[in-house]
Amino acid sequence: MRDIVQLVIRRLLLGLLTVLAVSLVIFGAVSMLPGDAAQEILGQAATPESLAALRLQLGLDQPAWLRYLHWLGGMVQGDFGTSIANGQQVSSLIGERLANTLFLAGLAAIIAVPVALVLGILAALYRNTLFDRAISALTLTAISFPEFFVAYILILFLSVNLGIFPSISNISPGTEFWERVYRSLLPAAALSLAVIAHIMRMTRAALVNLLGLPYIEMARLKGATPRRAVVVHALPNAVAPIVTVVALNLAYLITGVVIVETVFVYPGIGKLLVDSVSKRDLPVVQAVCLVTSLAYILLNLLADVVAIISDPRLMHPR
């Protein structure tokens, strides 16, 4: 237990350094955007006085390193600044949108993870059969299709032709839970297809690699059925790679929803990022990028800890 605690502390410290590096990259990338931010926000008809006032408000008259330190210091204190587009606190904007994105990601995970694990176990159990080849071909096809294509296909068939689901996921804080689930099913399905494919293929590969090991052959010689050999003997030893790929795909659900949220006009953090980029709302853009990066780092940390707990051999270098 002590080793696990030390591991978590080391990974948290490494995560903090990673967040610091990511914040530097984010700030630098936003600062190097072409054009004058104040001119883009106010338009070509802006007067020199208004441009100077906005540059002073944004701190653009200060050196880049000083602006970065001010921005980072505010982030540490929980102050994400004020939105240029509407004057609201960035933290309140992100809080509401992030809750919507987490709801959508959770719904997609509830759909994708069980289906992917079951399909991966079945593909390993019936490997090299017609079922295995069909599932592998379908998942490879699902990975190959871009998300916006899948989203528009779902809208065409399930919304326009059949009228089962709405094509626009217009939810609000007052939307009831089951109504929110109903309106979020189409974007969740579009997100789930690629996630199912990735997790299923990793689950199958991890199990197939274990099925040729001596202890599995010994279990079969002792009378274990193929199903028992896969589920009871192989699956517990495949937890580490499966947990890792599940965590990475959960991070993808949170950080990679920009396209799906834009297609379905879903009021999540991805749609907020797209709108803020189009308006040159720099404080919101920087805050959204940092929050999504932090979520990705935390999920990777969780995956590492769970994988090491399930397989203590990972604690020691080989």
Q: What's the 3-state SS for 115-170? A: HHHHHHHHHHHCCCCHHHHHHHHHHHHHHHCCHHHHHHHHHHHHHHHCCCCCCCCC
pLDDT tens digits, residue range 73-96? 888 777 777 777 777 788 888 888
- Spatial contact of 283 and 80, defined as CB atoms under 8 Å apart: yes
Q: Is 53 exposed, middle or buried (0-12, 13-18, 19+ CB in 10 A)?
A: middle
Distance of CA 147 to the CA centre of its chain: 14
Can you tell me the distance from the alpha carbon of 53 to that of 57, in angstroms, rounded to the nearest whole number? 6
Categorize the per-residue pLDDT at 43 as very low, low, confident or very high, splitting at 50, 70 and 90.
low
pLDDT top residue among 253 and 2: 253
Report the pLDDT value the prediction gives residue 311, as an integer from 0 to 100. 66
Q: What is the pTM of this model?
A: 0.82
Report the pLDDT value the prediction gives residue 69, as an integer from 0 to 100. 85
- Nearest of 198, 202, 231, 205 to residue 216 by alpha carbon: 231
- Spatial contact of 239 and 308, defined as CB atoms under 8 Å apart: no
The tokens for 266 are 């879903």
- Spatial contact of 261 and 270, defined as CB atoms under 8 Å apart: yes
pLDDT tens digits, residue range 228-279? 887 777 877 777 778 888 888 888 787 777 888 888 888 888 888 888 887 7
Say how many C-beta atoms besides its own lie within 10 A of residue 258's C-beta.
20
**Residue 82: what are its φ and ψ, rounded to 5°?**
-120, 140
Report the pLDDT value the prediction gives residue 317, as an integer from 0 to 100. 52
* Weakest mean pLDDT among 5-19, 40-54, 288-302: 40-54
Distances in whole angstroms, Cα of residue 141 to Cα of each of 67, 115, 150, 193, 237: 46, 17, 11, 10, 29
Can you tell me the distance from the alpha carbon of 238 to that of 136, in angstroms, rounded to the nearest whole number? 19
- Nearest of 51, 38, 59 to residue 281 by alpha carbon: 38
Considering the chain, what is the average pLDDT of its residues?
81
Distance of CA 290 to the CA centre of its chain: 13
Can you tell me the distance from the alpha carbon of 147 to that of 149, in angstroms, rounded to the nearest whole number? 5
Can you tell me the distance from the alpha carbon of 100 to that of 95, in angstroms, rounded to the nearest whole number? 9
Going along the chain from its start, the domains and CATH numbers come out as 2-76 (no CATH), 94-315 (1.10.3720.10)
Buried-exposed string 259-274: b where 16+ CB fall within 10 A, e elsewhere: bbbbbbebbbbbbbbe
Torsion 61-64-66-70 (CA) sign: positive
Task: Check whether 304 has a pLDDT greater than 80.
Answer: no
